[in-house]
Amino acid sequence: MKSKAPILLAAPGAGLGHLTRACAVALALKKIGIEARVVTHSIHAHGLAGLTGCTVDFIAAAFWRPSIPAYVATVNPKLVVLDTFPWGIRAEWRSLGGLRYALLARRLDVEAYLRATGLEWDPSGPQLERVIRIESLSADQTARLEATGGTCHDLEGRIRFPAHDIPTDPPDELAGLLDQQPVVLVVHSGPEDEVMRLVDLAREECRRTGEGQVAIVSTRQIPPLPCPVFRFFPAARLYDRAFRIVTGAGYNSVSERALHPDSHLCLPFARRYDDQAGRLAEPEAGQAEGSAQTARILADWLDS
Q: What's the pLDDT score for residue 123?
A: 65
Phi, psi torsion values for 20, nearest 5 degrees: -65, -35
What lies within 8 Å, CB to CB, of 271 at 6+ separation is: none
* DSSP secondary structure, 232-278, as one string: -S-GGGGGGG-SEEEEE--HHHHHHHTTSTTTEEEE--B-SS-BHHH
Q: What's the pLDDT score for residue 93?
A: 93
Of 23, 198, 10, 28, which is closest to residue 99 (Cα–Cα)?
A: 10
Q: What's the pLDDT score for residue 126?
A: 66
- 116/102 Cα distance (integer angstroms): 22
Q: What's the pLDDT score for residue 129?
A: 92
pLDDT in tens, 55-97: 999 999 999 999 999 999 999 999 999 999 999 999 999 889 8
Q: Are 120 and 159 in contact (CB under 8 A)?
A: no
Give the three-class secondary structure for 9.
strand
Task: Catalogue all structural domains in the chain, each as residue range(s) with its CATH number.
Answer: 7-160+289-303 (3.40.50.2000), 167-281 (3.40.50.2000)
Count CB neighbours of 121 within 10 A.
14
Q: What's the pLDDT score for residue 95?
A: 85
Question: For the chain, which residues score pLDDT lower than 70?
Answer: 1-4, 123-126, 285
pLDDT in tens, 90-129: 999 988 988 999 999 999 999 999 999 998 887 666 688 9
Query: The sheet that has 264-267: what strands, in order across it?
Result: 229-231, 213-218, 183-187, 244-248, 264-267
Angle 279-285-290 from CA coordinates, rounded to 5°: 110
- 298/249 Cα distance (integer angstroms): 27
Q: Which amino acid is at 299?
A: A
For strand 213-218 and strand 229-231, is the pairing parallel, antiparallel, or unpaired? parallel
What lies within 8 Å, CB to CB, of 238 at 6+ separation is: 170, 174, 178, 185, 217, 232
- 244/59 Cα distance (integer angstroms): 37
- 128/145 Cα distance (integer angstroms): 8
Q: What is each CA distance from 263 to 70, 159, 202, 239, 274, in whole angstroms?
A: 46, 20, 11, 9, 24
